[in-house]
Homo-oligomer: A and B are copies of this chain.
Amino acid sequence: MTEIKNQDNIKIAVLGGDLREIAAAEVLTGQGCEVTLYGFDAYGKAVGHPAAEAPGDAAVLLLPVPAFRVERLNLPFSEARLTCRDVEAILDAPSLRTVIGGMIPEELSEAAARRGIAVCDVCREERFQILNSVPTAEGALAIAMIHLSITLHDAETAVLGYGRIGKTLCRYLIGFGTRVTAVARKEKDLTESTLCGCTSCDFGALPDRAGRFDVFFNTVPHTVITEPILRNMKEKAFIIDLASRPGGVDSDAALRYGIRVIRALSLPGKVAPISAGRILADCVLRQLREGSS
């Protein structure tokens, strides 16, 4: 993790989010930033200020990860309801220099740009993605362990997608003695996965092999688990879908074949908010350091 000194008491407004943002705020405070929370009024020991008061005189606005859910700012600990347009209004604060958050909508980015405010979408930062593959993979394993009536050790698993999350997940599964099939498109990924102890399989061959797996982990954000795969699954097999909306499963077909699909989104903030908060803070601090250099 990054250690950054001398942030000159930079003022940060944390607007919304959940335990992850609270944890990030603590780390940032510990690094010398002056952090104020907005939109945590409904959180246990009501901390900070109402969402409407953001950003005060902060130079940095930290939005949630993801910033919005169903077109409202992601404020699980507040009664407030803010649209994208409401947030855009906040950008008029003359002190603001930087906006950081996850999956920031295009129109908000443009609105910031017009005002000369730098925008950093952490979800596009490789380091953020790689570090978050750890809480995501751990969360996915916990879900699998809870739902399987066999051990991971005895299970036969398929991991769809061999990107950041897929790789970490495969590595952990191998550690349990699980038989893992990595399903990928690129020759490079298929080959690399075999060196790490996986069986490799390209998407075209998956329907034929689908019948052997007890659990499918999907990390690919478009429909890769199609009818021919679902049709061939074992009776008790299930899918843990880690991909952001719309996910990777043909839901209608899954319903038809009675295949259980567990949607597991935003696992880092849910399963390990403090670790996730540290990762977020690390990303903010790097952005501030690079922005100021």
Residues of B within 8 A of A168 (CB): 195
Q: Is A247 an interface residue (CB 8 A)?
A: no
Task: State which residues 256-293 of A face B: CB under 8 Å.
Answer: 271-275, 278
Shortest C-beta distance, A265 to chain B (Å), equals: 17
Assess the B188–A134 pair: CB atoms within 8 A. no
Q: How many copies of this protein are present in the complex?
A: 4
Shortest C-beta distance, A132 to chain B (Å), equals: 10
Assess the B127–A187 pair: CB atoms within 8 A. yes
Could you mark each residue 222-258 of chain A with 1 if its beta carbon is under 8 Å from any beta carbon of chain B, else 0? Answer: 0000000000000000000000000000000000000
Complex alpha-carbon distance, A195 and B175, angstroms: 11
Q: Is A154 an interface residue (CB 8 A)?
A: yes
Given contacts A134-B195, A168-B195, A195-B168, contact A188 B126 (CB under 8 A): yes
Residues of B within 8 A of A138 (CB): 145, 151-153, 176
Given contacts A134-B195, A145-B141, A168-B195, contact A275 B126 (CB under 8 A): no
- Majority-rule SS of A interface residues: helix
Q: Is A146 an interface residue (CB 8 A)?
A: yes
Closest B residue, CB atoms, query A127: B191
Complex alpha-carbon distance, A151 and B268, angstroms: 9
Residues of B within 8 A of A139 (CB): 145
Assess the A127–B188 pair: CB atoms within 8 A. yes
Assess the B149–A272 pair: CB atoms within 8 A. yes
Complex alpha-carbon distance, A72 and B152, angstroms: 33
Residues of B within 8 A of A175 (CB): 171-172, 175-176
Given contacts A127-B188, A131-B191, A141-B145, contact A197 B177 (CB under 8 A): yes
Shortest C-beta distance, A159 to chain B (Å), equals: 16
Could you mark each residue 148-174 of chain A with 1 if its beta carbon is under 8 Å from any beta carbon of chain B, else 0? Answer: 111111100000000000001001100
Complex alpha-carbon distance, A171 and B130, angstroms: 17
Shortest C-beta distance, A173 to chain B (Å), equals: 10
Kindly identify which residue among B126, B135, B149 contacts A19, using a CB–CB cutoff of 8 Å: B149
- A residues at B contact (CB < 8 Å): 19, 23, 126-127, 130-131, 133-135, 138-139, 141-142, 145-146, 148-154, 168, 171-172, 175-177, 187-188, 191-192, 195-197, 271-275, 278
* Sample of 4 more A-B contacts, CB < 8 Å, known A138-B176, A148-B272: A126-B187, A171-B175, A171-B196, A172-B175
What are the 6 tightest A-B residue pairs by CB atom distance, in nearest-first order? A175-B175, A142-B145, A151-B275, A151-B272, A150-B275, A126-B188
Report 11 cross-chain contacts, Cβ distance below 8 Å, ordered by A residue.
Answer: A19-B149, A127-B191, A130-B188, A138-B153, A141-B145, A142-B146, A149-B272, A149-B273, A150-B274, A151-B271, A154-B272
